Amino acid sequence: MSMLRHYFIGANLDDLESFEEQLEELGVTTPQIHVLSKQDEDVANHQHLNSVQSFMKQDIIHSTELGALIGIIASLSVLCIAYFAGWTETAAGWTPFVFLSVVVLGFCTWEGGFIGIQTLNYHFAKFAGALKRGKHIFFVDLYPEQEGVLKTALKSHPHVKLAGTGTATPRWILALEDKVPRFLHTTFP
């Protein structure tokens, strides 16, 4: 069974910090928990809150992938048009059209990433209104056996409201995020 991400909206960072500490005491690891907020400095002042990395706040990866997909379609279109129009039968042959298709692919991919830098991550887009109102998005990726832990922790945090569920970070990434810092800390004290 796969992991599930639970999203919550809260207005008080102290309460969210307490919520995170309680989840960690119940066995949820720090890499499984994140807080997304427009008030990065306030989140940084709370020692126990695990903020979302700035790179992951933007939609760079998703938009770059979409740009690449559009680029592939456009590149294939260039090659098909050149072939069916008979332009490849000239003295120039395929070379200029292959180069043009590579340029089109590169441009579309670059443009997709450029748009993604300016856009909120598509996973968080549904919370844009709450973020503008000064709320904070708390999310936790849970293994199926940890679902009961969440219910237990939520009982003591009535001001934290469930805002939905979504796809969680893959298990292998969470394992790396958990084990690599521990390895570095014990190897290079």
Token pair belonging to 162: 């469930």
pLDDT tens for residues 116-140?
999 999 889 899 999 999 999 999 9
Distance CA 172, CA 146 (A): 17
Residue-level pLDDT at 185: 61
**Percentage of the chain with pLDDT > 70?**
95
pLDDT in tens, 136-169: 999 999 988 888 899 889 888 889 999 999 888 8
**Are the CB atoms for 165 and 5 separated by under 8 Å?**
yes
